[in-house]
Amino acid sequence: MTPCTGKEGLAFFGCDPWWLILGKGVVIFAFLLLSVLMCVWAERRVIGRMQLRPGPNRAGPFGLLQPLADGIKGALKEDIVPRKVDKFIFFLAPVLAATPALISFAIIPLGPVVSIAGHKTPLQLTDLPVAVLLVLAMSSVGVYGVVLAGWASRSPYALLGGLRSSAQVISYEIAMGLSFVAVFLYAGSLSTSQIVSAQAGGGTASFFGLFTFDTPSWNAIVLFPSFVIYVFTMMGESNRIPFDLPEGEGELVAGYHTEYSSLKFLMFYLAEYINMVTLSALATTLFLGGWRAPAPISTVWPGANSGWWPLLWFLGKLVLFIFFFIWLRGSLPRVRYDQLMKLGWKVLMPVSLGWILLVATLRALRNNGADTSAYLVVAGAVVLALLAGSFVWDAIKGPPPSAADEPEPERPAEPEPAGAFPVPPLDAPHYHGSHHGKEVPSGLH
């Protein structure tokens, strides 16, 4: 293949020699597996510390070998294939769960163009004109692994877990897809490397022509609502607390992998953690400026965004995000399933649609030469006024009447549904024993 020199954008990709492609692939693959081990270790240690426990510390130094021990033990456990399962799908499901999780990472930019053994190549396996779509597609394929695992197990818990998981993931995928739209609007591209370079520097804005200032460049700040929506959907997509309904022990035993043991179970475990890493990496890329150094560093040190240093910034942001995941797990309880679906369909979706329209309007006005900062200030004033108004309204109205204040309304006797099992009226007087030969009526006790 022809070497790519002096080209810009996507043309940098797709011209690596075969050994470089293979090398990058193997390195990314190894990185993902290693990151799973580190995530499991970090999660158990951090949650331990959050609960004032030491956490695993006997297997290896600081318990670092704990995930490895789990893996070896899992590999040496008996592999149970229950009698009634659909054998082919039962074997296929863990493969289907793990493979797409690993593929998604191919398009994550880890750094700028560097020189590897004389070849100038970007620190990214590849980039596509539809890179983010690949991530969405792979997460959709990953759902097949989960739902097929539930289906093939022929067990009620597994089936319910698989269905719940698929319904949850596809519900949150809508909000996730919508949260990306504003990012694409700003970057003008679906390719991750261009989204990162679009966050290289903010524009300048003027405040009513009085003075000008640099706007921040990270999408997490510029498109803050999109970022918040993405973080919510990230939790939903990765089936983790507070949205880990598909495997809630209290209700579904272990959810879709109830019947899985040995390495097949570990594949699901692996897929869950790789999804966590990939979603964090995607959040870093789309919203936190990717591999670019955070603001104070890049201002004082121009070399921070070249060579191999960006790998450090990228990993730093990634680790922060994963820590955020773990922190949530250490502090939040599990939500109810109807609350979960309500949040996804009735809150995140309309909010993101409205936000997209708002962003598009501002963008269109700016493209047509209007002074958007004036609009922004006016809109901010209106929002603040609305907030203040609602606050005053609440203060005037006083606290809402609580249930205890209101007298219990008289309930009409419920008509017995036809064909139902006959039950005695539920407010029947209780027997409170007898006193001096007479029965004590209810309420006089």
Partner 1 sequence: MDLYIPVVVLGVLAFGFAAFSVVMGSLTGPKRWNRAKLDAYECGIEPTPQPVGGGRFPVKYYLTAMLFIVFDIEIIFLYPWAVAFDQFRGLFGLIEMALFIVTVLVAYAYVWRRGGLEWD
Partner 2 sequence: MGLEEKLPSGFLLSTVEQVAGWARRSSVWPATFGLACCAIEMMATGDPRHDFSRWGMERASGSPRQADLMIVAGRVSQKMGPVLRQIYDQMAEPKWVIAMGVCASSGGMFNNYAIVQGVDHIVPVDIYLPGCPPRPEMLLDAILKLHDKIQNTKMGAHRRKEIEELERAKLRALPLLGQSDVPRIEPPRVTQS
Q: Which of residues 184-213 bind partner 1 (CB under 8 A)?
A: 184-185, 188-190
Beta carbon of residue 32, minimum distance to partner 2 (angstroms, whole number): 21
Does residue 99 touch partner 1 according to CB under 8 A? yes
Nearer to partner 1, 47 or 205 (CB): 205
Question: Candidates 19-27, 229-237, 303-311, 376-384 — which segment interacts with partner 1 by CB under 8 A?
Answer: 19-27
Min separation Cβ 68 and partner 2, Å: 8
> How crowded is the C-beta side of 320, counted as CA atoms within 13 Å?
11
What residues contact residue 15 under an 8 Å CB cut-off, 6+ apart?
A: 1, 2, 3, 4
**In 3-state terms, what secondary structure has residue 298?**
helix
Cβ 199 vs Cβ 294: under 8 Å: no
Q: 47, 345, 373, 375: which one contacts partner 1 (CB under 8 A)? A: 345
- Residue 238 as a binder of partner 1 (CB under 8 A): the answer is no
Give whichever of 172 and 313 is closer to partner 1, judged by the CB atom: 172
Alpha-carbon distance of 410 to 408, in angstroms, equals: 6
Q: In the bound complex, what is the minimum distance in angstroms from residue 425's beta carbon to partner 1?
A: 26
Q: Tell me, residue by residue from 267 to 306, as one string, x for binding to partner 1 by CB under 8 A and - for no binding.
A: x---------------------------------------
Centroid of chain to Cα 396: 40
Output the CA torsion 320→325→326→332 (10° steps). 140
User: Where does this chain bind partner 2 (CB under 8 A)?
Assistant: 44, 48, 51-59, 63, 65-66, 68-74, 76-80, 247, 249, 253-254, 257-262, 265
**229 contacts partner 1 (rule: CB under 8 A):** no
373 binds, among partner 2, partner 1, none (CB under 5 to 8 A by kind): none
The residue among 338 and 405 lying less far from partner 1, judged by its C-beta, is 338
- DSSP secondary structure string for all residues of 62-97: GGTTHHHHHHHHHHTS-----TTS-HHHHHHHHHHH
Nearer to partner 1, 106 or 283 (CB): 106
Binding to partner 1, residues 357-386 (CB under 8 A): 357, 360-361, 363-364, 367-368
- Going from the C-alpha of 65 to that of each of 122, 166, 190, 267, 320, the distances in angstroms are 33, 33, 39, 19, 22
How far apart CA 192 and CA 128 sit, in angstroms, is 8
Q: Please state the separation of Cα 325 from the chain's center in Å.
A: 8
338 makes contact, choosing from partner 2, partner 1, none, with CB < 5 to 8 Å by partner type, with: partner 1
**Residue 319, binding choice from partner 1, partner 2, none, Cβ under 5 to 8 Å by partner class:** none
Q: From the list 98, 223, 235, 286, which residue makes contact with partner 1 (rule: CB under 8 A)? A: 98
Decide if residue 105 touches partner 1 (CB under 8 A): yes
Shortest CB 417 distance to partner 2, Å: 34
Q: Which of residues 239-268 bind partner 1 (CB under 8 A)?
A: 253, 258-259, 262-264, 266-267
Task: Determine the interface stretch with partner 1 among 149-157, 407-415, 420-428, 433-441 (rule: CB under 8 A).
Answer: 149-157
Would you give the binding string for partner 1 spanning residues 323-342, x where CB under 8 A is met? --------------xx--xx
Residue 90: half-sphere exposure toward Cβ, Cα within 13 Å: 18
Give the pairing type, strands 204-207 and 119-123. Answer: unpaired
d(Cα 275, Cα 32) in Å, to the nearest integer?
Answer: 10
**DSSP calls for 206-260:** EETTTEEEEPP--HHHHTHHHHHHHHHHHHHHTT-TTS-GGG-HHHHTTGGGTT-
Residues 6 or more apart in contact with residue 260 via CB below 8 angstroms: 94, 149, 153, 268
Place of tokens 């983790």: 240
Total residues contacting partner 1 (rule CB under 8 A)?
93
Greatest C-alpha distance within the chain: 106
Q: Which does 57 bind (CB under 5 to 8 A by kind): partner 1, partner 2, none?
A: partner 2
Q: How far is CA 250 from the centre of its chain?
A: 22
Q: Which entry of partner 2, partner 1, none binds 220, CB below 5 to 8 A by partner kind?
A: none
Q: Does 34 bind partner 1 (CB under 8 A)?
A: no
* Binding residue for partner 1, selected from 94, 161, 289, 310, defined by CB under 8 A: 94
Q: Does 5 participate in binding partner 1 (rule CB under 8 A)?
A: no
How many of the other CB atoms lie within 10 Å of CB of 377?
Answer: 13
- The stretch among 51-59, 98-106, 208-216, 386-394 that binds partner 1 (CB under 8 A) is 98-106
For residue 16, what are the CA distances in angstroms to 30, 57, 108, 307, 347? 20, 43, 17, 18, 45
Here the tokens at position 336 are: 């109810």
